[in-house]
Amino acid sequence: SSLPNFKQNEFSVVRQHEEFIWLHDSFVENEDYAGYIV
């Protein structure tokens, strides 16, 4: 991204468990991502 907020090489964010459930479900429902580990 070229946004000023993302100029640092590294940064961290806090995520909630529910966000990973959504991500997991999105991968499970799409055969293009079969075998990917996040």
Overall domain count for the chain: 1
- Give me the DSSP letters along 1-38: --SGGG-SS-------HHHHHHHHHHHHT-GGGTT---
Q: Which domain holds residue 9?
A: 1-37
Q: Determine the pLDDT at residue 29.
A: 84
Of 22, 21, 24, the C-alpha closest to 38 is 24
For the stretch 1-38, pLDDT in tens is 677 877 888 877 888 888 888 888 888 888 887 776 66
